[in-house]
Amino acid sequence: MYRRNWFYWGLTGLALTIVLTVAPWAKNMQNAEKNSPNLWRLGEPIQYENLSVFPVLSGKPVDTSSFVTLDDALSTGQVVITEKGGDVVRRSRGAHPVDVPQQYGASVNQLVLINRSSKPLLLLAGELVSGGKQDRIISKDRIVPPDADPLPLDVFCVEEGRWSAGAQFSAGELMVHPSVREKAAVDQEQAKVWAAVRSGTTSGAGAANGTPSSAALAQPAQQRQTVTVTSEALSSVMTSEARTHSYKRIYKSKAIGDPVDAFANQVQERFARVTANLKGEAAVGVVVAFGDDVAWSDIFASPALFARYWPKLLRSYVVEALARPKTGEQASVNDAREFLRPLMGHESIETEPATYRLKQVTEGKYVEIELEALRPADITLHLLKVHRTS
């Protein structure tokens, strides 16, 4: 009898040990698998000039219709962004408008945001909001819950020379290019953001100053376009067309905007053809290489969310490509696949309870930033990976 009891309790203890050991492991495996590259497939690259874009394809998209993007919410008035320090900010609480006094003066690196939408608001680092006393960009990925109190919103200025005019902001419909976005999302320093706006690229090789590439020279002479955006070109545009160092005006100028549009159109046409007739899969993001440097990726939870951001993301990659040197080397699919390998370095986590979790992992010159929504469902909305330029 004693031996049977000993055997029974021994098995029970062993089972309990297995459960306590395996349960956390299984949970960690589930979390790892949620964004595992095994759930994605890389399509063949779209290559033009020194830019390679690898479509990230998924057959298991997530429903993201319960979230609203910044540009959509600003354009419809569902979200209001103002300078900090106006007389009042009006928001709705149920059916009754409430005036919320602003207690402090205007700030370069902080605005006030009100989400009047019935949906959580998705913000991505590098998105531009236009107006106010200066154009600004969002400093980090985050989610703002619906009907929340007015939010102090951390931002960086991308219009160094102006501090005047209105207090309210509109949708910029622009994403700053990777060199600037890196300084906002990773370095979190205003001076480095301004420096990246002025210089075009922060890659170690510097801005392009060579002759047009073979692809450009192959065109008839009357159809050739300038395919280089040098530091000198940026400085010239700032002096003559964008005296306040306005990011939006710089890249709408003829000297820079025209080659960006022509380049982006070529890539978009090729991208559309490659992703048009996929069976059971759809594009949810991209891995981006400049020459042989696999440098960047933006991956989303759903094709719909990726499609909403793709036009302005593409323009941002093109600006970076034009500012970098032209090379004859190109990255391969294997290079892009290796780039998506999960990082194992230093990890930091920022959490807003019941709203979002932002995890950053740094391994050498690589940084991975994952934005996970906690409500209405546990979803990784955006995964950003960067090969740092400096």
Least confident of 54-63, 159-168, 292-301: 159-168
Closest CA relative to residue 374, chosen from 155, 125, 142, 36: 142
C-beta separation of 234 from 250 below 8 A: yes
Please, which residues bridge with residue 83 across strands?
111
Nearest to 242 by CA among 274, 197, 287: 197
Percent of residues, the chain, with pLDDT higher than 90: 53
Torsion angle of C-alpha atoms 192, 196, 201, 204, degrees rounded to 10: -20
Q: Are 233 and 255 in contact (CB under 8 A)?
A: yes
**Taking Cα atoms as reference points, which of 35, 39, 69, 41 lies closest to residue 54?**
41
Domain coverage including residue 79: 39-387
Nearest residue to 166 (alpha-carbon basis) of 86, 249, 231: 86
114 in a domain, yes or no? yes
Structure confidence by residue, pLDDT tens digits, 104-140: 456 789 999 999 999 999 999 999 998 888 889 999 9
Whether 20 is in a domain gets the answer no
Q: Say what the pLDDT of residue 172 is.
A: 81
**What pLDDT sits at residue 216?**
35
- Which of the 8 DSSP states describes residue 342? P
pLDDT for position 228: 55
Tens digits of residue pLDDT in 7-16: 344 444 444 4
Domain annotation covers residue 26: no
Structure tokens that stand for 85 in this block: 């320090």
With helix as H, strand as E and coil as C, how does 92-124 read?
Answer: EECCEEEEEECCCCCECCEEEEEECCCCCEEEC
How many helices, marked H, and strands, marked E, lie in the chain? 10, 20
pLDDT tens digits along 261-300: 899 999 999 999 999 988 889 999 999 999 999 999 999 9
pLDDT of residue 390: 75
173 within some domain: yes
Residue 8 lies in a domain: no
Cα–chain center distance at 367: 13
Average pLDDT for the chain: 79
- Quote the number of domains for the chain: 1
In a domain, 311, yes or no: yes
Tell me whether strands 110-115 and 121-123 are parallel, antiparallel or unpaired: unpaired
Closest CA to 244 of 175, 165, 155, 138: 165
Q: Each residue of 307-365: pLDDT tens digit?
A: 999 999 999 999 899 888 878 889 999 999 999 999 999 999 999 999 999 999 999 99
| pLDDT tens, residue by residue, 63-112 | 999 999 999 999 999 999 999 875 444 444 443 444 444 444 567 899 99
For 154-174, give the DSSP string.
EEEESBTT---S-SBEEEEEE
Residue 97 domain-assigned?
A: yes
| 183 DSSP assignment | I
User: Has this prediction a pTM greater than 0.85?
Assistant: no
Predicted pLDDT at 208: 41
Residue 7 lies in a domain: no
Which residue carries 């559309």 as its tokens? 272
Please enumerate in sequence order all residues whose Cβ is within 8 A of that of 159, keeping only pairs 6 or more positions apart, or say none: 134, 135, 136, 244, 245, 246, 247, 248
